[in-house]
Amino acid sequence: MGEEEKKLSRQIIGKTVVSKTGKRFGEVGDVIFETSSGELIHIVLRNPTPYTEKLDLERSKDGEQLIPFSAVMAMGDFLVVAEEDIV
């Protein structure tokens, strides 16, 4: 993993994940990326909210809820995702 990817993952781990309409999903627990290209694939949710349990989110082999990185719209104080790109 290059320095840029390490920096990005440190910056987003622990951020609250919200939809653009303000629904809270949980926090970024980890990121999953393609090792050969460094492309970010999924955000692993930590402390998912009851709202996320109602969604049919993809899960890791350990049962953790995943959000496709392609759904991420913005990163700042929060990680904003497009809910329509998830479900």
Average pLDDT, the chain: 88
| pTM for the whole structure | 0.85
Best CA proximity match to 44, nearest among 19, 21, 26:
26
Identify the weakest region by mean pLDDT among 8-17, 46-55, 62-71. 8-17
Instruction: Using DSSP, state whether 25 is helix, strand or coil.
Output: strand
Q: Compute how many other C-beta atoms are within 10 angstroms of the C-beta atom of residue 44.
A: 19
Phi first, then psi, for residue 84 (nearest 5°) are: -65, -20
Phi first, then psi, for residue 2 (nearest 5°) are: -75, 165
Are 79 and 69 spatial neighbours (Cβ–Cβ below 8 Å)? no
CATH number of 3-85: 2.30.30.240
pLDDT in tens, 63-87: 999 999 999 999 989 999 998 888 6
